[in-house]
Amino acid sequence: MSKSEPLTITIMDKEYRIACPEEEKDNLRASAELLNGNLKEIKEQGSVIGTERIAIMAALNLSHEILHNKSLIEDHSDLTKRIDKLSDRITDTMRDIQLI
């Protein structure tokens, strides 16, 4: 386990120092950029007022995206299993044909 070092990130023009392992710093920076992008987009739309509400909307949007992507991955996994079963059936059928 690597030692955590403080990393300063800026979110909505406020600086935060966060302890983070060296190998995770790039991911944390990218996460902060993604969050800032979402926050900025919501703020610019003007439909949500107040820092806390903007943050909640950004969190909801990101959570929704994560769950949607998770669903797509699970669907892909099911599809892969179905393809594997079909492949096995084709292989079995080809083997049976060769035996005849």
Domain map (residue ranges) of the chain? 4-99
Please calculate the CA angle 43-53-57 and round it to the nearest 5 degrees: 75
pLDDT digits (tens, 9 = 90+) for 4-43: 889 999 998 899 999 989 999 999 999 999 999 989 998 8
Query: Closest Cα partner for 55 from 68, 38, 67?
Result: 38
pLDDT digits (tens, 9 = 90+) for 44-98: 988 888 888 888 888 998 888 888 888 777 767 777 777 778 787 777 777 767 6
Average pLDDT, the chain: 84
Q: What is the pLDDT of residue 25?
A: 93
Q: What is the pLDDT of residue 90?
A: 78
The correct CATH number of 4-99 out of 3.40.50.300, 3.30.160.880, 3.30.2130.10, 1.10.3720.10 is 3.30.160.880
Q: What is the pLDDT of residue 91?
A: 78
Residue 1 has pLDDT above 70, yes or no: no
